Amino acid sequence: MMYFSRLKIALILGVCVLGALLCLPNLMPAPTSWLPWQQVHLGLDLRGGSYLLLEVDMATVVRERLDSIADGARTALRGKVTGYQPPQAQPAQNRVVIRINAGPQQDEAVRLLREAAASAGPAEYDVVTEGNEVSLSLSPTALRDRANAAVLQSIEIVRRRIDETGVLDPVITRQGADRIVVQLPGVEDPNRIKELLGRTARMTFRLLDETANLGAAPPPGVDFLPLEGQPNAKEPVRRRVEVDGASLTDARPGQDNQNGRWVVNFTFDSVGARRFGDVTTANVGRRFAIVLDDKVISAPVIQTAITGGRGQISGNFNARSAQDLAVLLRAGALPAPLTVVEERSVGPELGADSIRNGAIALAVGFLLVIAYMAVFYGLFGWFANVALLVNLVLQIGLLSLLGATLTLPGMAGILLTLGVAVDANILINERVREEVHNGRTPLNALETGFRRAYSTIIDSNATAFLAHVMLFVFGSGPVRGFAVTITVGIVTTLFTATLFARMLTVRWYVATKPALLPV
């Protein structure tokens, strides 16, 4: 207990120096590029910024999958089986139902559907008969895979869209089964980003059915879709998609040469260019519609065949909306709509206030604790105070190493750690004092004091550690920052209050050989 070899002293001091070095990145920029230069990140509550929690609309994912299964079933059965009603998607039960009377026709239908199911990939859906119904139910694994793919794809699209806006260092992460966390440092008003993320941006090029009567019900294969900006005006648009927006390779805002109005210029990839060329060649003089999220942006007449793979969308654009549409088209369509379920944004001014308040509280608290230890514990109190300073340095160093995020509650956590860290020294000092009163020699008292106080120190820190690990697991946002600083602080406290402070005490004892301990 009371012997420290040179090696041990060197190791302890080495840890302290290492801690100080780890703090450096917070004070200055990296001198060279090859050094690991990790620093503590300021949380959004301190530096200002926006936090958005987005939810992927899984109902849409399921519905679209069921629609395509229903389409497949229709194709599989067409012309081969008779006496069935069109497949109906039932999203609530994750299945598609086809009514067909039991008998040889049904058996034949089931055979064809099973064939189609097998070609859709292993275990995508099961074909089950129930009286006069055949149902195709999505298997849970397939459902999970779909959902997973939808979230991953959404994250990719969200990242591309946000990158297009020029926000620096956005952090986009997945949370749970169907959520995406978007952190935007420095963005005080996330409205524009929310607008960009709030659109699926699925664009399609389709032909119009000019014979349709807008007053009557839509004929089969035709939708009456509203025009963008004029919800009451509708266009009869064929359901068949001629060219999909996924075939776009580029989209840029621009101004029309003739009238100076804002337009979006786009370029197709080779497949899209060929398709677009074929369609326009075959339909010169007819109208086609550019549809974005079930709204018609424009429905021009095809003047000539467009074979170069380039085109122009002119709608009711201004500079901003043309820019936004170009961004959306470049980034691609979301697999399903996103909803903002939680939003937290903090302006930089409030963040600066918080940093100032936190720093003042930290400084005052630190001084109070130091004064208390000096007054009530004298020399040993000063040992504890030196250990406390080292503790602060190590804590910041370790937080930097972890690349942890410092939040306002996190600053409170640092201060509490300092208040609690000296508890260990108090326990030790009180114990030493007691042992002196029990008549032990100074060395013996120190030895016994340190040893006996240990189990108490370990027990009390272990329980606090457990509580804060739970907080980290179940907490979110700034509160996690609190849990991180406290748990890191408990680890550094165990080092400084026991090893470091003990080393100081022992070196002092060896140097002075006191007859009485100042306790």
Partner 1 sequence: MFLRPLFRLVPDDTKIQFMRGRFIGLATSAVLSLLSVGLFFYPGLHLGIDFRGGVVMEVRTPGPADFGKIRSALATAQVPQAGLQRFGGPDQVIIRMDPQGDEKSTQATVARVRGALDEAQPGSRIVRTDAVGAAVSSELFRNGMLALGISLLMILVYIWFRFEWQFAVGAVVTLILDVTKAIGFLCVTRIEFDLVMVAAILTVIGYSTNDKVVVYDRMRENLRKYKTMPLRQLIDLSINETLNRTLGTSMTVFLASLPLALFGGASLSGFALMMLFGIVVGTSSSIFIAAPILLLLGENRLRRDAQAVPVAAGRKA
- Please report, as residue ranges, which positions from 396 to 455 form the binding site for partner 1 (by CB under 8 A): 408-409, 412, 415-416, 418-420, 422-423, 426-427, 430, 434, 437, 452, 455
CB of 436 to partner 1, least distance (A): 11
**If we measure between CA atoms, which residue out of 47, 36, 79 comes closest to residue 353?**
47
Name residues contacting partner 1, limited to 234-293 (CB under 8 A). Answer: none
CB of 212 to partner 1, least distance (A): 32
CB of 347 to partner 1, least distance (A): 4
Which of 478, 492, 494, 495 contacts partner 1 by CB under 8 A?
A: 478
CB of 422 to partner 1, least distance (A): 5
| 339 binds partner 1, rule: CB under 8 A | yes
| 358 binds partner 1, rule: CB under 8 A | yes
**Binding footprint of partner 1, residue count (CB under 8 A):** 77
CA angle 210, 211, 215 (to 5 degrees): 100
Which of 2, 171, 350, 503 contacts partner 1 by CB under 8 A?
A: 350
**If we measure between CA atoms, which residue out of 470, 463, 434, 472 comes closest to residue 450?**
434
Stretch that binds partner 1, among 33-41, 62-70, 123-131, 470-478 (CB under 8 A): 470-478
Cα 50 to Cα 477: distance, rounded to the nearest angstrom: 12
Cα 22 to Cα 25: distance, rounded to the nearest angstrom: 7
| 341 binds partner 1, rule: CB under 8 A | yes
| 474 binds partner 1, rule: CB under 8 A | yes
Stretch that binds partner 1, among 110-118, 119-127, 273-281, 362-370 (CB under 8 A): 362-370
Radius of gyration for the alpha carbons in the chain, expressed in angstroms and rounded: 35
Look up residue 264 and give its two tokens. Answer: 């979006």
Nearer to partner 1, 118 or 360 (CB): 360
Which of 333, 369, 394, 399 contacts partner 1 by CB under 8 A?
A: 369
Q: Where are the beta strands (DSSP E) in 274-383?
A: 288-292, 295-298, 310-314, 338-346
| 484 binds partner 1, rule: CB under 8 A | no
10 Å Cβ neighbour count for 294?
12
| 466 binds partner 1, rule: CB under 8 A | yes
**If we measure between CA atoms, which residue out of 226, 301, 312 comes closest to residue 265?**
312
| Token pair 């806006």: residue | 165
- Show the site string, 20-59: x = touches partner 1 by CB under 8 A, - = not: ---------------------------------x-x----
Which of 136, 263, 446, 483 contacts partner 1 by CB under 8 A?
A: 483
Nearer to partner 1, 354 or 405 (CB): 354
Which of 214, 261, 284, 376 contacts partner 1 by CB under 8 A?
A: 376
Sign of CA dihedral 409, 413, 419, 423: positive
Nearer to partner 1, 145 or 423 (CB): 423
Cα 201 to Cα 497: distance, rounded to the nearest angstrom: 58
Look up residue 409 and give its two tokens. Answer: 């509650």
Which of 349, 402, 403, 507 contacts partner 1 by CB under 8 A?
A: 349
Cα 264 to Cα 245: distance, rounded to the nearest angstrom: 13
What distances in angstroms separate CA 152 from CA 51, 205, 330, 371, one per listed residue? 19, 26, 18, 54
Residue 349 φ/ψ, nearest 5 degrees: -70, -40
Residue 41 φ/ψ, nearest 5 degrees: -90, 140
Nearer to partner 1, 302 or 340 (CB): 340
Nearer to partner 1, 28 or 473 (CB): 473
Strands 41-42 and 405-406: parallel
Cα 140 to Cα 447: distance, rounded to the nearest angstrom: 64
Nearer to partner 1, 279 or 404 (CB): 404
| 365 binds partner 1, rule: CB under 8 A | yes
CB of 476 to partner 1, least distance (A): 7
Name residues contacting partner 1, limited to 165-204 (CB under 8 A). Answer: 188-189, 191, 194
Q: 83-88, long-range: CB within 8 Å, 24+ apart, which pairs? A: 84/109, 87/136
Q: How many Cα atoms within 13 Å fall on the side-chain side of residue 466? A: 5
